[in-house]
Amino acid sequence: MTEIWDGLTRAVQLIISFDPEVLEIAGRSLRISGTACLLASLICLPLGSLIHFRHFRGKRVLINIIQTLFSVPAVVIGLLLLVVFSRAGPLGELGILFTPAAMVVGQMILIIPLLLGLTISALSGVSKETADTAISLGASEFQTIWLVLREAKYAVLAAVIMGFGRAISEVGCALMVGGNIKGATRIITTAIALEAGKGELELAIALGAILLFLALIINIVLNRLQER
Amino acid sequence: MKPLIEAASISHGYGGRKVLQGLDLSIDKGEAFALIGPTGAGKTTLLRIIDLLEVPDAGEVYFDGRRIPRSGKERLDIRRRMSFIHQKTRVFDLSVYDNVACGLRWRGWERNKIAEKVDHILEMVGLTGYAKRNARTLSGGEAQRVALARALVLEPEVLLLDEPTANLDPVSTAKIEQLVSCLAREHNTTLIMATHDMSQGQQLADRIGVLLDGRLIQAGNAANIFRSPQGKEVARFVGMENILEGVVMTGNEGTVMVNVSGNAIQAVSDYSVGKEVYACVRPEDITVSLSNTRSSARNSLQAEVTRVTTLGPLSRVEMNCGFRLVALVTRMSAEELDLQVGKEVYATFKATGVHVMERGISQ
């Protein structure tokens, strides 16, 4: 049990001493997951809105599939992308395997279903009359979607935070398509896996605590943003 | 003159339930039209179709002589010439100012012009000083005024209102009614409102249409609707409480005698002898007295009071004179006459106060 306590004190030391390697790894984690979350949001907020507002055949089934994909293991996505991005694979020419770009793609794919599903349910929480009122006042489809998204801002923000949380905490995909290369694709979670494997439990726990600390800061920032 | 809005053989339903059934309606520019009818008659659905929120299952809508396509951008362009105040008012989770400004912003207006317009309309509806408040924190009456301002700031050619004062107290109701009629007149706005409140329809509208079970049964001015309803259903809806079954006995130069359960009732009508009719009398057109006073009122029936109920300043007197008759009298006179169950009275009403209609039509 002493490892946990030692790990936590180590975490505090690492944070206040601005350990360059830890800073680098943490920064990369933030950049990769932040990018993945931003890009996924840019896709999912409009797309989820369209799915919510449009009537089409198979809408129920589509939403069911999206919700099922919440449970896809990160490592499975990593595996699929490994095949796709490998030199002989269909997108091998891009040459992005074992780069942060591949990790961003992997995390995006991982959280897109979650962001889509949560966007749809966030919008369902806004009464139909709100959209009707906007349309009656002369809003175009896009303007209506924008207004309703703003009405649902708390739930939409929660969706984005969930998406970011799933991205920054996954390890399977980052390991598969990133390769945990020091100074290039090593992020907090892959570093934890490595250190734990080496028996450096203290450092692994310290890194885990730092990850949570980062998540806390992101949460505070996002909540501040939406209160404006 | 071509009508501004025309609905031709509109049918519409939700999940197998028919709401509108082959409805025709045309409304002229600048007209104030009230749709009255009980809940579920299809008033809201008709307004939604006119506002192009809904595409009818069958039938066509014409605006300014142009047929409206079932999809596409033209619908938005035409919708932007109208405003619709829904029954369930939804103010957006924004400031009062932004609520009122959003329609203009969506139309791409300039910032300065928007500010000018919004300030002006907020003053009109008495919400100056509320501009920065979040609209969700307002009371029901204030929120309804925001909804009104939001719709009127657009200076629409057509203003659609769905039960604009449902759930409001009488003071707020009066305020809203006054604003609507004043602003509509100022801009020559075409007004289409749905209401189940007949006095509101009478007050605000030039023409009234009665919607029953998805059909427009009758349209005309208030006197026409309230004095000469077509059919028993309309008669009942517009408050003709006494609908008496009878047969025309004699007819002479526009007046007839109708036999109602053995009583002869004189009425103004052209129906021929032997016709099966309803003789309808509004309860407020019946006077109740203790002695048989024959004045210009032509019908005076002996009756026994069976029930007296107080409705605010009025008393509703149910009587039996071979058939059931209901009269509305002031509470004062009910007290003066000492109207109680079992009391012998005379029920008097004019021949011109009796509306005679053929049985078995329109339903």
pLDDT in tens, B234-292: 888 888 889 999 999 888 878 888 999 888 888 988 888 888 999 999 999 998 988 87
Q: Determine what percent of chain B is predicted with pLDDT higher than 70.
A: 98
Window B:143-202, CB contacts with A under 8 Å: 147, 150-151, 154, 160
B84 close contact with A: CB closer than 8 A: yes
Cα–Cα distance measured from residue B324 to residue B341, given in angstroms and rounded to the nearest whole number:
14
Cα-to-chain-centroid distance, residue B115:
36
Average pLDDT, chain A: 92
B75 close contact with A: CB closer than 8 A: no
Higher per-residue confidence, A100 vs B141: A100
- Which chain B residues are within 8 Å of A130, Cβ to Cβ? 90, 92
Mean pLDDT score, B31-55 = 92
- pLDDT score of B222: 86
Mean pLDDT score, A58-69 = 95
Residues 6+ positions from B73 with CB-CB distance below 8 Å: none
With bands split at pLDDT 50, 70 and 90, how would you rate the model's confidence at B297? low
- Which chain A residues are within 8 Å of B164, Cβ to Cβ? none
Higher per-residue confidence, A7 vs B208: B208
Taking only the tens place, the pLDDT of each residue in A81-103 is 999 999 888 998 888 999 999 99
Which has the closest alpha carbon to A94: A103, A105, A85, A107?
A: A85
Residues 6+ positions from B306 with CB-CB distance below 8 Å: B318, B319, B320, B324, B341
Asked if A150's CB is within 8 angstroms of B76's CB, the reply is: no
With bands split at pLDDT 50, 70 and 90, how would you rate the model's confidence at B296? low
Q: Which residue of A has its CA nearest to B156?
A: A137
Cα–Cα distance measured from residue B276 to residue B259, given in angstroms and rounded to the nearest whole number:
10
Predicted TM-score (pTM) of this structure: 0.82
Which has the closest alpha carbon to B64: B24, B107, B26?
A: B26
Q: Which residue of B has its CA nearest to A153?
A: B93
Return the number of other C-beta atoms located less than 10 Å from residue A42's C-beta: 10
Ranges A120-134, B282-296, B308-322: which has the least confidence = B282-296
Q: Bin B167: left if φ > 0, else alpha if -120 < ψ < 50, else beta.
A: left
Q: What does the block give as tokens for B204?
A: 């605000």
| Closest Cβ–Cβ partner in B89, B90, B154 for A138 | B154
Q: Which residue has the tokens 């309606």?
A: B25
With bands split at pLDDT 50, 70 and 90, how would you rate the model's confidence at B359? confident
With bands split at pLDDT 50, 70 and 90, how would you rate the model's confidence at A228? low
Average pLDDT, chain B: 89
Return the number of other C-beta atoms located less than 10 Å from residue A76's C-beta: 13
Cα–Cα distance measured from residue A173 to residue A81, given in angstroms and rounded to the nearest whole number:
9
With bands split at pLDDT 50, 70 and 90, how would you rate the model's confidence at B362? very low
pLDDT of residue B196 exceeding 90, the answer is no
SS3 category, A98: coil
